[in-house]
Amino acid sequence: MFDFAAHGLIESPHRLPLPGGGPQTLGAVLDRQLASDAGRLALVGRSGRLSYAELDERANRFASVFRQRGIGRYDRVAACLPNDVDIVIALIACARLGAIWVGVNRPLAPPEKAHLLADCAARVYLTDAQGLAEIAPQRVDDLAGLETLDVTALRQASDQLPEVSRCADPVDSFDPAAIAYTSGTTGLPRGAVHSHHNILLPGAIQALEHNFGPDCHQGVMLPLTILNLMVLAPLTAFQDGSACVCMDSLKPRDIARWVRDEKVGHFASVPTVIQDLLTAPDVNPDDLATLGRPDIGGAGIAQSFQQLYRARFGRSMTVAYGMTEAPTIVAKTDVDREPEEELCGRAVAQVDIVVVDAGDRPLPPGEIGEICVRPATDGPYANVYTTMLGYWNNAEATARALGNGMYHTGDLGFLDEHGELYIRGRSKELIIRGGANVYPAEVERALIAHPAVKDAAVLGVNDARLGQRVVAAVELVPDVRVDPGTLERELQDWCEARIARYKVPAQLQVVETLPRNAMNKVVKPRLGSLFE
């Protein structure tokens, strides 16, 4: 039995089965389709195409190799691999052993990767030749117990095995299945721990409500090392009986080819990827014929992009609000409603969203507070959702995040009288200038509206008189002509015409590119040195 308290975690208080009668653990996620149509296409990547039967066998073979190397229940298996079939096979294989999956994002620097491996005390690091070369210099005492495994060697070893059967280790659906490290936009990443139940629930509901169907292939071009992408793409596809298409490029032309060749019907992505896809001159619009309405993560998306989306897909876009700790989406806008600034929509069916004050008391409509997520209290999915189990080996952070049975997001926002959520930014990013609250997202929107500004990041820096002052880093539109000597004053004047004077950045710095993580979020702590 897993010792939750020993790892700073909290056991799920509710233990209702997943709705729809489907698989209850990641290791069994293929079973429904194996029983009904095992020859149906399940997984596509650069290195091959697998039916459900072939994927099942590959997962059994990978699991057998892991077991030969001593991997068992609750051991952490970390993986840093490109989007292809191997990373999905390895996830299922780990789950069949009861091991805990840890995704390590490829864009991270070697010391950042080493930190994650040490933090979760990984037993195995599954990667490729590039990843092995990166981590070799990091083999310090913290990683002394780590075994590295080249994915090519894993594949070869699994192919040499005689006929294998499924590993039959019993797995509790409420035990830890994966650790998803936060993006670290406001500090060191923390490992959000999720159960099999929590990871499978979004896909189970999608299948039960027939939102996509078995003929809608799910594409994924953002990194599958991010757990949310595993949830939204392969795990949703497998519960639907459809196929997952692993795209290994973010270039618009490559994405369009994947969509065309594999008849991709849906994917979730970020605004920049979809905007590039719809505007790139080397993309033939006919190549996107099968693509329905892709989901977009984020809020405050420019009006010009909304118009572009509407022209291509014939309907308003939907914006989703989610987080690593959920996992994935907790609120979504309605397709029949025009997007608004800061609007994130209504809570999805399995959760309730509440906005609370510092004492965790619910606030009335229109009042800004911390956004919290808890299991739905009524409806068909009442108490089916479970929050994350906590942060790996961080009981203090777990207690803060999961107080009163709900996940405290750290985001600020409010609910209107209709239950629609509006977001105002991160509570840790709130700038208090001379006693007045400044929400960075509001200032960023004003800056991005300027024709010369491609993107902006607003933050607060210490000020002896005001407590904090507002500053901004801006990324300019490529090839735009500006006068460096007058640009700061021009942008300040532009903002003054749109927001209160106390919110206008006192200082602006132009950067070639804003620092971003694998989910395209700006990492603001890296900008602080610009304003020292």
User: Does 197 reside within a domain?
Assistant: no
pTM: 0.85
User: Does 440 reside within a domain?
Assistant: yes
- DSSP conformation letters of 451-498: TTEEEEEEEEEEETTTEEEEEEEEEEPTT----HHHHHHHHHHHHHTT
The Cβ of residue 136 has, within 10 Å, a number of other Cβ atoms equal to 10
Q: Taking CA 477 as the corner, what is the angle to CA 471 and CA 482, rounded to the nearest 5 degrees?
A: 75
pLDDT confidence of residue 109: 76
User: Does 30 reside within a domain?
Assistant: no
User: Does 436 reside within a domain?
Assistant: yes
User: Does 295 reside within a domain?
Assistant: no
User: Does 494 reside within a domain?
Assistant: yes
Average pLDDT over residues 242-255: 96
pLDDT confidence of residue 499: 86
pLDDT confidence of residue 175: 97
pLDDT confidence of residue 432: 79
Give the length of the chain.
532
Give dist(CA 318, CA 335) in Å, integer.
Answer: 6
90: part of which helix (H) or strand (E)? helix 85-97
User: Does 68 reside within a domain?
Assistant: no
Q: Model confidence at 367, in pLDDT bands (50, 70, 90)? A: very high
Average pLDDT over residues 504-529: 86
C-alpha torsion angle, residues 507, 509, 510, 511 (rounded to 10): -150
Average pLDDT over residues 456-484: 88
pLDDT confidence of residue 96: 97
For residue 458, the enclosing domain spans 431-531
Output phi, psi for 117, to 5 deg.
-60, -40
Q: Model confidence at 189, in pLDDT bands (50, 70, 90)? A: confident
pLDDT confidence of residue 401: 96
- Whether the pLDDT of residue 226 is over 70: the answer is yes
Average pLDDT over residues 211-228: 95
Report the DSSP pairing between strands 264-269 and 369-375.
unpaired
| Per-residue pLDDT tens digits for 115-137 | 899 999 999 999 999 999 888 77
Query: How many domains does the chain fold into?
Result: 1
Report the DSSP pairing between strands 217-220 and 191-195.
unpaired
User: Does 504 reside within a domain?
Assistant: yes
Q: Which CATH number belongs to the domain containing residue 492 in this structure?
A: 3.30.300.30
